[in-house]
Amino acid sequence: MILEQIPEVLRDSIARGAIIVAALAVLWLVRYVVIWLLTRPLVHIAERVGMPQLDDRLRDIVTTPVQLAFFGFAILIISAGLTLDVFGALFASRLARTLFILAVALALYRALELVTFSRGRLYALTGLNLDEALLPFARVGLQFVVIAFAVVIIVQEWGYDVSALVAGLGLGGLAFSLAASDTIANLFGFSMIVGDRPFVVGDTIKTTDTEGVVERVGLRSTRIRQPDQALVTVPNKVIANSVILNWSRLGKRYINFTLRLSSNATVSEVQRVVTGVREMLEIRPRVETDSITVRFTGFGDSSLEVLVRCYVLIVPWDEFSQERELINLEIMRVLASVFVSSAASGAIVEPSAAVEDTLLPIDGGGTA
């Protein structure tokens, strides 16, 4: 027999080689089966949430990690089939485990990229509802965590002291955070602005430092165009910590002032003024009827005070100013009809109590 003529050592090597090749061939076939078994439920999930176009991306998440794991198993099979010394066996084992770690890390990395690709997709797959502008920050942050854990585990796998590396990274990170504290604070301010949405581009806002129309919300700062057309750039950390008054989200505007009548006015005249002003406001279509308050509230030093309050269902400032002007003119007509002559009664309307514009929610709720 030919095999009997081959030296025993060579026959043993051939047998080992054949076993290795057969095992690798079986493993190669198993790889496709594993990829199919892993992608099948993911495809069903994509179809169930109404996103069948994710099939290719889901296969990408599984395919490369499985291939890395296949190479890891192949290394273990080859090392087991060959006669390696202690150093060679340890090296092969570490290399295989490194490939396994990379496979898991790559799968998580790509899964995060897919899940946080859009706001709707993130909500459909996880139930989390994040703003679209915050998705890149969330994705990069989570991916960085995955990479950091993978690097630390791999470094530890190869026998290096991870504690010294982590301590060095901690000192470096502390120095970096101190040097870039303002930048980091502005980035957190941007995330708060985008997440809470106290305003959007185009809104007219007022803060402690400035007032105007928001033109741009950037990563570091927010640009506001003031009424005098000056462009103010406010750091996000400052505006995020400020009290923000958003005039663009008014549901209605508030009129609140006091009529001061002469102290010589009679009871009848005061009652006629109160009734006349109230009836005038009730018939105006843009005035909220339930909010009308016209009351004789007290005695001033030299006048009788009549409080006038109401909500006007107008948001734009120009239209509201016109309506307020018409209301003031109608009040003057009521006063003229009550007091035959200003000389006889001395009725006056003092401008010291200005009309107030009070910020209200969009649905019109709230108080003065």
Contact 126, 115 (CB under 8 A): yes
- Return the exposure string of 8-43: e unless at least 16 CB atoms fall within 10 Å of the residue's CB, then b: eeeeeeeeeeeebeebbeeeeeebeeebeebbeebe
The strand pairing partners of 259, in sequence order, are 306
Does residue 176 have a pLDDT over 70? Answer: no
Q: Looking at this protein, which amino acid is placed at residue 24?
A: L
- What tokens were used for 174? 């502390």
SS3 117: coil
Which has the higher per-residue pLDDT, 60 or 201? 201
pLDDT of the residue at 107: 84
State the Cα–Cα distance between residues 119 and 127, nearest whole angstrom: 10
- What tokens were used for 197? 């949405």
Q: What digits encode the pLDDT tens for the residues 130-170?
A: 555 556 666 777 777 888 888 888 888 877 766 666 666 66
What is 223-238 written as a DSSP string?
EEE-TTS-EEEEEHHH
Q: What digits encode the pLDDT tens for the residues 4-46?
A: 555 555 556 666 666 666 766 776 777 777 767 776 766 666 5
State the Cα–Cα distance between residues 312 and 292, nearest whole angstrom: 10
Contact 127, 121 (CB under 8 A): no
SS3 82: coil
pTM of the model: 0.48
- Phi, psi for 212 (deg, rounded to 5): 160, -165
Instruction: Report percent pLDDT > 70 for the chain.
Output: 65
- What tokens were used for 77? 């099979």
How wide is the angle at C-alpha 33 spanned by C-alphas 42 and 78, nearest 5°? 125
Which has the higher per-residue pLDDT, 41 or 126? 41
Helix boundaries (H) for the chain: 2-5, 8-48, 55-81, 86-115, 119-126, 135-157, 162-179, 181-196, 236-240, 267-282, 317-338, 342-345
Q: Looking at this protein, which amino acid is placed at residue 112?
A: L
State the Cα–Cα distance between residues 25 and 99, nearest whole angstrom: 19
Handedness of CA 318, 321, 327, 331 (dihedral sign): negative
pLDDT of the residue at 308: 94
State the Cα–Cα distance between residues 214 and 201, nearest whole angstrom: 5
- What tokens were used for 365? 């709720």
Domains of the chain with bracketed CATH: 2-179 (no CATH), 199-248 (2.30.30.60), 250-345 (3.30.70.100)
Handedness of CA 97, 98, 99, 104 (dihedral sign): positive
pLDDT of the residue at 33: 74
